[in-house]
């Protein structure tokens, strides 16, 4: 089957021409192999969609405007940037009509698929009736949506605060923990990412996301329970003991809370060691703190086995934050907590102009309905399991692949120059990412050293898409 996927011509879209360097990497008897002898690039699965003709500005014109008018801190992934002008489900299109397989989902944001018709219809319908009001008035959309979201939560997590971004959600969660407990100290993890507000930047455990300004007051970073690189391997309880030691030595013995992703996103799709969360939650609660689960990337069924990432470790947090996939691309986020913790915000006025916007509420509600109706969580389990199996087979073939990890459709592939020393293969990762783009696959990268492929596509990804992704990665690694 692999040979067939490599050998067939593409059914749709412009043909891909391999770069000259790909024509031959070997010499036979002093004579280079011919172009005809080189393996053909993988074939993208057929997809029945024709993008609209593009009549907008060129990539170069857009790039010049970005340089002149946009924040210089924003960055581009590729040496030759691509101008994305249309999206449909798991595919994106550039200004020439060329199709790309989106294996990153707008940085883990497009959950149900680009321009999913039912979500678009809900957004358009509400926009035509009432585009904006605030929570100082009654409107059914926000109440209906909060009810639907609360129904997905375990335990007594029943009160919803709607906000606009993951940073804002995590910022609010930290404030609520401090207000509720009367303590100030927060325990976070090294290698974590929780956003770029002043408070969440301080909670981040990656120097690449930290500016040299006052930040992180009262935040203590514990050992990262990384099964691949951590000092305790996969022993979650030993990592949890470090948190207990941290609380007893670096805080007054009482803490406001503990915040963690179940699978670290920007840190390189790092799963927390098995058994870590139950043990660390016990230590934190014994110190008077609350437990915050950052579900910005792992929520809404992406892990496959469970609707929420924290459920994979058998715990129930006190506060849960979510964003990205919650709105399939809308600026929408939420904090969900218990009635007791929620009551802390009633001590003075609290308000969010856009939190609960009727258009975002209608869109977010449609996302939940689509995930259930189309059984996207089950699809993540089936397709993600298939993808992980194929990637681990690829790991046996390519020594540069040091680790393959993840759950469902939240996967990381870490490249190293040597499996023994685990030296990050940073330059090689960037090179392969570029080659994959040239072959029509858009993946992400992350980790402290930028040596981890982040594979987190829309949850409508198919087995055929997964096979194409792996074949493209295989083909690109062979060109190094």
Report the pLDDT value the prediction gives residue 85, as an integer from 0 to 100: 98
> What does the DSSP 8-state code read for residue 114?
B
Say yes or no: domain 46-112+376-399+414-426+437-478 is CATH 3.30.300.130.
Answer: no
β-strand partners of 423: 418
* Predicted local distance difference test score (pLDDT) of residue 368: 98
**Candidate from 24-28, 64-68, 78-82, 454-458 with smallest mean pLDDT:** 24-28
Enumerate residues 6+ apart whose C-beta is below 8 A from 377: 300, 301, 304, 306, 307, 371, 408, 459
Q: What is the mean pLDDT of residues 83-89?
A: 98
pLDDT of residue 13: 38
Q: Give the residue among 109, 98, 8 at the shortest CA–CA distance from 49.
A: 98
Whether 381 contacts 469, CB under 8 Å: no
What distance, in Å, lies between the first and last C-alpha atoms of the chain? 24
Query: According to the model, what pLDDT value does residue 350 have?
Result: 86
Beta bridge partners of 407: 410
For CATH 3.40.640.10, the residue range(s) in the chain are 166-322
What count of other Cβ atoms lies within 10 Å of the Cβ of residue 4?
Answer: 8
- Tokens standing for residue 312: 């994979």
The DSSP secondary structure of 211-266, one letter per residue, reads -SSS--TTEEEEPP--TTTSTTTT-HHHHHHHHHHHHHHHSSS--SEEEEESEETT
pTM of the model: 0.91
pLDDT over threshold 80, residue 22: no
pLDDT score for 434: 97
DSSP β-bridge partners for residue 441 = 101
Which pLDDT tens digit goes with each residue over 428-459? 999 999 999 999 999 999 999 999 999 999 99
Place of tokens 């993808």: 387
Question: Does residue 413 or residue 4 have the better pLDDT?
Answer: 413
| Strand, helix or coil for residue 412 | strand
Element (H, E) at 417: strand 410-418
Residue intervals in the chain for CATH 3.90.1150.10: 46-112+376-399+414-426+437-478
Fold of 166-322: 3.40.640
DSSP 75-106: --SSSS---EEEEEBTEEEETT--EEEESSHH
pLDDT in tens, 245-268: 999 999 999 999 999 999 999 999
């Amino acid at each position: 089957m692999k040979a067939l996927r490599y050998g067939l011509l593409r059914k749709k879209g412009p043909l891909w021409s391999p770069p000259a360097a790909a024509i031959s990497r070997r010499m036979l008897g002093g004579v280079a192999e011919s172009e005809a002898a080189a393996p053909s690039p993988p074939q993208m699965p057929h997809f029945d969609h024709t993008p609209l003709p593009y009549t907008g500005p060129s990539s170069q014109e857009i790039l010049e405007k970005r340089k002149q008018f946009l924040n210089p801190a924003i960055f581009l992934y590729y040496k030759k940037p691509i101008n994305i002008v249309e999206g449909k489900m798991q595919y994106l299109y550039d200004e020439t009509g060329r199709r790309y397989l989106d294996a990153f989902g707008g940085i883990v944001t497009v959950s149900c698929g680009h321009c999913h018709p039912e979500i678009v219809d809900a957004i358009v319908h509400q926009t035509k009736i009432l585009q904006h009001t605030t929570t100082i008035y009654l409107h059914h959309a926000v109440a209906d949506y909060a009810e639907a979201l609360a129904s997905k939560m375990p335990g007594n997590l029943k009160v919803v605060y709607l906000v606009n971004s993951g940073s804002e959600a995590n910022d609010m969660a930290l404030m609520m923990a401090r207000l509720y407990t009367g303590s100030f100290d927060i325990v976070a993890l090294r290698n974590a990412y929780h956003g770029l507000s002043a408070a969440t930047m301080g909670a981040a455990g990656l120097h690449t996301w930290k500016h040299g300004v006052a930040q992180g007051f009262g935040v203590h970073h514990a050992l990262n329970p990384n099964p691949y690189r951590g000092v305790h391997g996969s022993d979650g309880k030993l990592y949890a003991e470090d948190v207990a030691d941290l609380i007893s030595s670096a805080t007054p013995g009482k803490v406001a809370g503990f915040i963690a992703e179940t699978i670290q996103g920007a840190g390189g799709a790092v799963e927390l060691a098995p058994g870590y969360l139950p043990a660390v939650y016990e230590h934190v609660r014994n110190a008077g703190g609350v437990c915050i689960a950052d579900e910005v990337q792992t929520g809404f069924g992406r892990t496959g086995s469970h609707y929420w990432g924290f459920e994979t470790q058998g715990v129930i947090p006190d506060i849960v934050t979510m964003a990205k996939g919650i709105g399939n691309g809308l600026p929408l986020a939420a904090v969900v907590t218990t009635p007791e913790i929620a009551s802390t915000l009633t001590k003075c006025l609290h308000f969010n102009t856009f939190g609960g916007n009727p258009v975002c509420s209608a869109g977010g509600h449609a996302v939940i309905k689509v995930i259930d109706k189309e059984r996207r969580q089950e699809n993540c389990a089936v397709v993600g399991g298939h993808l992980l199996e194929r990637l681990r087979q690829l790991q046996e073939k390519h020594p540069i692949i040091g680790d393959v990890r993840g759950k469902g459709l939240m996967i990381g592939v870490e490249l190293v120059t040597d499996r023994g020393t685990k030296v990050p293969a940073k330059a090689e990762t960037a090179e392969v990412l570029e080659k994959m783009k040239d072959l029509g696959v858009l993946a992400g990268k992350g980790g402290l050293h930028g040596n981890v492929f982040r594979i987190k596509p829309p949850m409508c990804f198919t087995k055929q898409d997964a096979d194409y992704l792996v074949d493209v990665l295989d083909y690109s690694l062979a060109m190094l």
